[in-house]
Amino acid sequence: MTRDRISHVRLSSVTLPLATPISDAKVFTGRQKPMTEVALLFAEIRTESGHEGLGFGYSKRAGGPGQYAHAREVAPDLLGEDPSDIGRLWTKLVWAGASVGRSGLATQAVAALDIALWDLKAKRAGLPLAKLIGAHRDSVRCYDTSGGFLHVPVEQVIDNAAASLGSGIGGIKIKVGHPDRRVDLARVTAVREHLGEDVPLMVDANQQWDRPSAQRMCRELERFGLVWIEEPLDAYDAAGHAALASAFDTPIATGEMLTSVAEHAELVRAGAADILQPDAPRIGGITQFLRLSTLADLHHLQLAPHYAMEIHLHLAATYPAEPWVEHFDWLEPLFNERMEIADGRMLVPDRPGLGLTLSDKARAWTVETCEVSGG
């Protein structure tokens, strides 16, 4: 039997500038500086038969050059391999760099390659990625985050929310976690009063409350009928999140900052999340996301993947229970295609694979490339 083989890998380090510096609670508490750019790692894989796959990962603030450097070291291990054997190749790439761990930056570098392999496999089959995996739906509920950051005046947050809903987006998430709890409550009150009770509304504290503050704020926020309260505590405080999840009616959502399936499994074991928020580029790619998705389903958890809607739309569509996908417009300039939205839902594209091609801007913002070829 003749099998296709991987013959070429192209890696690109891309710096995406943001139009406005972005601040969430981590900036207001002094832990981070405003974000001005996003670093992306793109992987383009080609086979001897001419099939191609595109994948990407990202880093907000530090880490982008490290992801690129690690991917450049392990990518040669793909040459000559059958691209269909994605699980085996994920393991091979992870063990190639096992001395720096099987989570964090190392597996984030592997994620871009893993996603490219899944994109390639779906394209070879002539199917959208969601259909290759096995979709439960052709569209997913979506909510907007990019208009609700803490540096944005509440009047503008309300205008942004109205524009998002007018474009067909189904829900709105705003940031909280301001050092002055009265500011948070005033902003949530204003947004809820403007939107009315029927519009799905979420809040995100970005890990900036301690346990007493989180207890107090979750109690105060109960009256707003929120879809969830996100990251009220440090991402690794499974016991603290579990206490909140058991004490309040409003669901607790967390998981986006974790960088492996094993870390998420700790949340699941502790009962720390009503809604799990994995990020495929952060946990090692689609191969790992599917493992985690199965675990979440077995424990009857809701799913709302973090960021990277271009990838997560397909993955959310394969989850048995009705999920959410996060609409973020930041990455749109990198691609020639746009996600279609209607009636509060994001539609799975009918294009093969992820259905993405890199734009001229993505090429222009490329700061470094590496070509890996066999022979």
Binding residues for substrate: 24-26, 60-61, 173, 206, 326
Per the annotation, binding residues are 24-26, 60-61, 173, 204, 206, 230, 256, 326
Per the annotation, binding residues for Mg(2+) are 204, 230, 256
Q: Is 70 helix (H, G, I), strand (E, B) or coil?
A: helix
Pseudo-torsion of CA 314, 317, 320, 322, nearest 10°? 130
DSSP-derived pairing of the beta strands 366-373 and 6-22: antiparallel
**33 catalytic, yes or no?**
no
CA distance 346 to 325: 8
**306 catalytic, yes or no?**
yes
Q: Could you write out the DSSP letters of every residue in 264-280?
A: HHHHHHHT--SEE---H
CA distance 5 to 3: 6
Interacting residues of 2 by C-beta distance below 8 A, sequence separation 6+: none
Residue position matching structure tokens 């440090």: 234
Q: For residue 228, what are the CA distances in angstroms to 10, 75, 188?
A: 40, 39, 13
Q: Which value, in Å, is the radius of gyration of the alpha carbons in the chain?
A: 20
Q: Is residue 235 within 8 Å of residue 257, measured between CB atoms?
A: yes
List 175, 241, 264, 314, catalytic entry: 175
Q: Is residue 267 within 8 Å of residue 274, measured between CB atoms?
A: no
List 123, 178, 306, 314, catalytic entry: 306
The set of catalytic residues is 175, 306
